[in-house]
Structure 1
Amino acid sequence: MNWKNIIDKFDFKVEHVGFEKEIKSTRMTRTGLELSGYFSLETINACILWGKEEFNYLETFDLNTKIKKVENIFKLAPPVVILSRSFAPTHWLINLATIYNITIISTSLSSSDINTRINLFLSESLSKSITIHGNLLEIYGQGVMIIGESGMGKSETTIELVKDGHLFIADDAIECKKIFDKVMGSPSPIAKGFMEVRGLGIIDVARLFGIEKIKESTHIDVIIELVEFKPNIHNFERLGKDLQYKEIHGIKIPYYLVPVTSGKKISDLIEVIVANLKLIQSGYNSFNEFIQKSKEIK
């Protein structure tokens, strides 16, 4: 990835075209330490963002000092410098960019807006992705990943949940990326909007249930694994005392093991799991309430 990818994504103005150095960092830098004269790196691999704070700081110096401070940063060959609406692309800055072959782009956005948008874009684009076999929906605002062996009814359960008004994200292959402290799940580009149903084939979810039932991605907030009911093999949760977790990209995500048996409507159970998890995360635990009432009766 380089500065051209940012231009393709955002409506920024190119002030000067420099070399196409690879952007390796998922976070932008404001180069506060470097502007003050402290350098700990031999090169800069992150996008530089300069806004009102940097502009006002440089304005406290004469032109020669300004040039020297910026020149020392340009010598570290940053891949791109992004100027907010508060940092004017002055002639001396563009002249330096020409000398050191640095790309300068500007925007009418504020520094905070740029920081939010670019950091998210970089994180999504540069984060490592793993593919997990399963289905992904958004239920009551929570991203729910349904996993399990083939034949456990993942697609059928997903259809029931979509018919109940929940949002469909992915079927079969879920691309998972770590975005800041969350795991983001999305479909593969080829399978986006489609679902494979055993005995029926490939269906277009948007055409069957409405475009409003489709969402491009969601944070993965809970993992539900469907398994064949084998009490001598699996340790099923009976009381709900403690949450279980699975890790994706090193992030712990609440995990539920759900036995599939004849006559059990899994979609209803999943809705209950999600609603109960939201209660637990808000501070309420039905197990603790049950124990408390038991003590009161005794």
Structure 2
Amino acid sequence: MSNEIATGLVHATCVTLNGFGVLIVGTSGSGKSQLGLALMGLGAELVGDDQLEIIAGNRCPIAMPAPNIQGIIEARNVGILNAKFAPQSAINLVVDLSQREPDRLPRQHKAVIAGHTLEIVFGRDIPNLHFAVYQWMQAGRRH
């Protein structure tokens, strides 16, 4: 199964760690900002929350914050928080909080962004997803 993600302005959250960017997508209220905040709490840096500009890069897609909301992230039931942010990041992994992974050890799922094929994690209802994604950002995933 392949998931196509549009370029241009998209409704998503993105964080980065040592040049490894994670694009978090999902329906409204699915927890995109919450996962972003959890990853930031572990050491990742915000790229953007709510609206991102996605463009084609040479080796991978690139995410940039929307200029009017850069450096802020929503914490549901708390408010809008200021954050240090990266002006852009490569996108190396996609997490889709709208889709549920049925398998304990899933096969690789793919997403296509700007002609680049990336791995996608179906993250709906995965307990402690932030720890697994953070570990992936640091050391990768065994296939």
TM-score by length of 1: 0.42
Query: Larger deviation: 265-274 or 163-172?
Result: 265-274
Q: 2:50 aligns with which of 166, 172, 186?
A: 172
By how many angstroms is 1:273 displaced? 3.8
Rounded to whole Å, the distance in 1 between the matches of 2:103 and 2:68 is: 37
Work out which of the two has the higher radius of gyration on C-alpha atoms and give 1 or 2. 1
Rounded to whole Å, the distance in 1 between the matches of 2:82 and 2:141 is: 34
Please name the residue that 1:226 is paired with.
97
Q: 1:201 aligns with which of 79, 91, 97?
A: 79
Unaligned stretches of 5+ in structure 1? 1-128, 207-213, 229-233, 286-298
By how many angstroms is 1:236 displaced? 2.9
- Do the aligned residues in 2 keep the contact of 1:131 with 1:174 (CA within 8 Å)? yes
Unaligned stretches of 5+ in structure 2? 1-6
Q: 2:133 aligns with which of 262, 267, 270?
A: 270
- Do the aligned residues in 2 keep the contact of 1:236 with 1:258 (CA within 8 Å)? no
Q: Going by fraction, where is strand more abundant, 1 or 2?
A: 2
TM-score by length of 2: 0.82
Q: 2:105 aligns with which of 229, 232, 239?
A: 239
Rounded to whole Å, the distance in 1 between the matches of 2:30 and 2:17 is: 20
By how many angstroms is 1:274 displaced? 3.4
Counterpart residue identity of residue 117, structure 2: K
Query: Number of paired residues?
Result: 137
Rounded to whole Å, the distance in 2 between the matches of 1:223 and 1:182 is: 12
Between the aligned residues of both structures, percent identity stands at 21
Q: What is the correspondence of 1:118-267 to structure 2 with a 5 Å cutoff?
A: 130-206=8-84, 214-227=85-98, 234=100, 236-240=102-106, 242-260=107-125, 264-267=127-130
Please name the residue that 1:31 is paired with.
none
Rounded to whole Å, the distance in 2 between the matches of 1:141 and 1:202 is: 25
Post-superposition Cα deviations, 1:165-184, rounded to whole Å, max 9, x if no partner, equal 11111001110111223211
Q: Going by fraction, where is helix more abundant, 1 or 2?
A: 1
